[in-house]
Structure 1
Amino acid sequence: MVMSPELDRATVLGDEAAARGHLARICFKTGPPTLTGVELEWTVHDAADPTRPVDRERLRAALGRHSPVTLDPTSPTDELRRGGTVTVEPGGQVEISTPPRPSVAALISATEADITQLRTRLDAAGLVLGRTGMDPWRPPRPAVETARYRAMRDVFDRRGPAGRAMMYSTAGLQVCLDAGEPDQVAQRWAAAHAVGPPLLAAFATADRHAGRPTGWASARMAAWLAIDPARTRPVWSPADADRDPVAAWTDYALAAPLLCVRGDGPDWTPPADVTFTDWLAGALPRPPTTDDLEYHVSTLFPPVRPRGYLELRYLDAQPGRAWTVPLAVLAALFADRTTTGDALAAAGPVTDRWHDAARHGLADPALATAAVALFELALAALPGLDLPAGLYDETHRAIRRRQAAAERGQR
């Protein structure tokens, strides 16, 4: 997220009111909903032996000038040919973050070109991208160590192994949508959450990990939900239907425990259970700044996170080009107010069933029924995305196949 120049990121936050005011300015940027973005994450594997660990140096050599500074502090961090930025997660997962585009067709075209460039570099190094949301072959293992990642691991370890599984073994697909005009924000915020469980179920790919079945349709989402509810539970639920999204997010962010406290040394691990509100009240030696608050927000991982736009974080990584299907479904569902309202209503009976979606996927009849209805709405709205004929036909067929799979789950 690019911050407005008038916001001084080094300003000391003197009290909770100042923190709330800053979050209110940055979390929901309103305006016509015209842009869509995507972030694609993959596990990375040796092409000959997918069970073999891939270390930091091999990734650095493969990515070259596109390496993030976490791999190579001297890297120029060049963007990919169509503007995608490459990052590497703590387990060696590679991610492309795209610039937002005014049309889904332009977004798909640019992103596919960047994926091709990335695949070409990895192929030359004997590496391939994974096809699921959880590493199906290897147990959790660190590939990249930074002060942030060490602090995350230390904090997550207090609650059990789920944090390491998330950090080192998961791969997700994030779709980024505009928050909308002021009078649209509440509806789009609610719908972004409500459609999450049925779409998570419909696009779950993470049923295997470390060489064995997990018992979950999405073990990736199971890991996220198990880390720490204070930073991974949904911000919105049906009980919050009438609550202001800004107030809900501000309360969530300030009540969440600190995950990292940045300093000059290698240890950024915070004291246990100190929240940002506690920090504002003097729990740490120095007062927090606006930059500290923004960094703290970057360590919160709910299924939908406001970053000026809405970042939908609940989808598993998809195989090959299949990432375009949930992107098109979400873009269609949020293309106009009526369809978004219909999607919110269709998902209503299952809006809070995140755990069931991760566990059972479309084997849960209620989730399958909601997914069928959402796919029908997406198909009806699909012409409004103005996709080229070939891409439209491909997407329409793919959504129909997903809808047929969901219909089987209803029986």
Structure 2
Amino acid sequence: MTTKSSDEDPAGRILRRLSDAAEHVSGICFKTGPPSRVGVELEWTTHRAALPAAHLRPSELRQALGPHAPAVLGNRDPAPLPGGGTVTLEPGGQVEISSAPAGSPAALHAAMAADQAYLADLLARSGISLGDSGLDPHRPPVRILDTPRYAAMQHAFDRAGNPSGHTMMCSTAGLQVCLDAGTESRAAARWDAVHAVGPPLLALFATSRAHAGRDTGWASGRMRAWHGIDRRRSGPVPAGGDPPERWARYVLDAPLLCVRRGDGRWDAPEGVTFADWIGGALPEPPTVDDLEYHISTLFPPVRPRGYLEVRYLDAQPGGEWIAPVAVLCALLADDALTDSARDLAAPAAGRWWDAARDGLADPVVAACAADIADLACRHLDRTGLPRPVRDLVAGVVGRRLDHAGAAAA
């Protein structure tokens, strides 16, 4: 952890009051302005194509990714992918592409589709394939990356006797959509709408029923794992009131997952929250940099990071990732659509557990999913996506709804 304080180093400023921390959280996490950009993070489990149940070694991924291998694999100067995306790696060997912010869904799709195809081909040359669901269907969780952060995370989950934490770290793969928060007058409405449509979209695009060779019994076993860790870290930000205030309280009340130290041992004391740290629970006080790092260890379904990071979607097979992205972008295309989406989803608002467990078998969630899917598909032209891509999106959505209807019958 950093303890120096200097006017020339804002990140090193020591935090001694809860109000100062809350003010900083609100300032960096809710940046308002006209919504114009969209980004995405695509994550996949990785497998030996000939033996998908075998665990990969870091050296295999380092060799396969070549100049695009991330720093965690020892590459000091990672090269971006041709479409501008950057590659990162998760503890269990999941590979992720993070896009640059795009000015439209069409530009985002063009860049990321190219990067996805490039990455898949690059890995295939080394006999490695990308998974197509939100949870590893073949293997139990095994951490293959050894970093102070990941070691501290595993220690915290093991200490709590929480196997969900290990599954979350090593076996899950998500689709994250990054959206501008919106203007100051509309930011709260967009925040509420993105949360309200969460359970229906989680259920509509759930892909992670199987894990380690068995049926989990959950439509989204991935979200079951995330729900299974400390709700103060992974539960939704409480509804009601002012979003920046709610988020600041969430951040301060969350327990520390790791505390950075020079000796490489980042284990956090059990039960100590960031508010406790400011109150003197640790020998040295926290800094602004420590606060921002703490925020990176919090995983609610929607996380504000200067933009809205939607985290409740499972990874999708092949190029179908554009379907949930397009649906979200259509629902947020203007104020009237945003408000309509929020109202249509209202009966299912807060039903995160039901949506993850039962998916579209939950009648309330299913009815809301059908309503907001219809609204989005009628306005896909607002995304600017080419007609063939819009047809793909509508086809994916229709197939998911039809499959749910057939199962219910």
Q: TM-score range by the shorter chain?
A: over 0.9
Q: State the secondary structure of the residue aligned to 2:97.
A: strand
Q: Which residue of 2 aligns with 1:28?
A: 30
TM-score by length of 1: 0.95
- Residues 125-140 of structure 1: matches in 2 within 5 Å? 125-140=126-141
Q: Which residue of 1 aligns with 2:157?
A: 156
Q: Structure 1: which amino acid aligns with 2:233?
A: R
Q: Which residue of 1 aligns with 2:58?
A: 56
User: In structure 2, do the counterparts of structure 1 residues 159 and 354 end up closer, same or farther at CA, with 3 Å as the change threshold?
Assistant: farther
Q: Which residue of 1 aligns with 2:107?
A: 106
Aligned-partner Cα distance in 2 for 1:156–1:368: 33
Q: Which residue of 1 aligns with 2:196?
A: 194
Residue 289 (structure 1) aligned to one of 287, 290, 301 = 287
- The answer to whether the Cα contact below 8 Å between 1:305 and 1:311 also exists between their aligned partners in 2 is yes
Aligned-partner Cα distance in 2 for 1:7–1:371: 47
Q: Which residue of 1 aligns with 2:258?
A: 260
Deviation at 1:379, TM superposition (A): 1.2
Verify: 1:318 aligned to 2:316, yes or no: yes
Structure 2: gaps of 5 or more residues = 1-6
Q: Which residue of 1 aligns with 2:171?
A: 169
Q: Which residue of 1 aligns with 2:4?
A: none
- Residues 298-309 of structure 1: matches in 2 within 5 Å? 298-309=296-307
Q: Which residue of 2 aligns with 1:352?
A: 350
Q: Which residue of 2 aligns with 1:19?
A: 21
Q: State the secondary structure of the residue aligned to 2:258.
A: coil
- Residues 361-376 of structure 1: matches in 2 within 5 Å? 361-376=359-374
- The answer to whether the Cα contact below 8 Å between 1:217 and 1:358 also exists between their aligned partners in 2 is yes
Aligned-partner Cα distance in 2 for 1:145–1:302: 25
Aligned-partner Cα distance in 1 for 2:319–2:8: 40
Deviating runs (4+, > 4 A) in structure 1?
A: 406-411
Q: Structure 1: which amino acid aligns with 2:369?
A: A
Q: State the secondary structure of the residue aligned to 1:176.
A: strand
Verify: 1:71 aligned to 2:73, yes or no: yes
Structure 1: gaps of 5 or more residues = none
Q: State the secondary structure of the residue aligned to 1:347.
A: helix
Q: State the secondary structure of the residue aligned to 2:321.
A: helix
- The answer to whether the Cα contact below 8 Å between 1:369 and 1:406 also exists between their aligned partners in 2 is no
- The answer to whether the Cα contact below 8 Å between 1:368 and 1:410 also exists between their aligned partners in 2 is no
CA deviation digits over 1:172-204, x for unaligned, max 9? 000111100001111111111111111111111
Aligned-partner Cα distance in 2 for 1:51–1:410: 32
Residue 248 (structure 1) aligned to one of 243, 246, 249 = 246
Deviation at 1:159, TM superposition (A): 4.0
Q: Which residue of 2 aligns with 1:8?
A: 10
Deviation at 1:236, TM superposition (A): 3.5
Deviation at 1:395, TM superposition (A): 2.3
Q: Which residue of 1 aligns with 2:3?
A: none
Q: Structure 2: which amino acid aligns with 1:141?
A: V
Aligned-partner Cα distance in 2 for 1:6–1:352: 43
User: In structure 2, do the counterparts of structure 1 residues 275 and 227 end up closer, same or farther at CA, with 3 Å as the change threshold?
Assistant: same
Q: Which residue of 2 aligns with 1:332?
A: 330
Aligned-partner Cα distance in 2 for 1:181–1:43: 36
CA deviation digits over 1:356-379, x for unaligned, max 9? 111111111111100000101101
Q: Structure 2: which amino acid aligns with 1:101?
A: A
User: In structure 2, do the counterparts of structure 1 residues 117 and 302 end up closer, same or farther at CA, with 3 Å as the change threshold?
Assistant: same
Q: Which residue of 2 aligns with 1:93?
A: 94
TM-score by length of 2: 0.96
Q: State the secondary structure of the residue aligned to 2:10.
A: coil
Aligned-partner Cα distance in 1 for 2:342–2:278: 37
Q: Structure 1: which amino acid aligns with 2:132?
A: R
Aligned-partner Cα distance in 2 for 1:164–1:287: 30
- The answer to whether the Cα contact below 8 Å between 1:372 and 1:407 also exists between their aligned partners in 2 is no
Q: CA RMSD in A?
A: 1.5
Q: State the secondary structure of the residue aligned to 2:87.
A: strand
Deviation at 1:54, TM superposition (A): 0.6
User: In structure 2, do the counterparts of structure 1 residues 229 and 152 end up closer, same or farther at CA, with 3 Å as the change threshold?
Assistant: same
Q: Structure 2: which amino acid aligns with 1:352?
A: G
- The answer to whether the Cα contact below 8 Å between 1:369 and 1:410 also exists between their aligned partners in 2 is no
Deviation at 1:14, TM superposition (A): 2.1
Q: State the secondary structure of the residue aligned to 1:70.
A: helix
Q: Structure 2: which amino acid aligns with 1:393?
A: D
Q: Structure 1: which amino acid aligns with 2:342?
A: L
Residue 395 (structure 2) aligned to one of 386, 394, 397 = 397
Q: Aligned pairs, how many? A: 402
- Deviates further, 345-354 or 250-259: 345-354
Deviation at 1:155, TM superposition (A): 0.9
Deviation at 1:408, TM superposition (A): 4.6
Verify: 1:145 aligned to 2:143, yes or no: no
CA deviation digits over 1:49-98, x for unaligned, max 9? 101111111011111111111111x4311111111010000000000000
- Deviates further, 217-226 or 401-410: 401-410
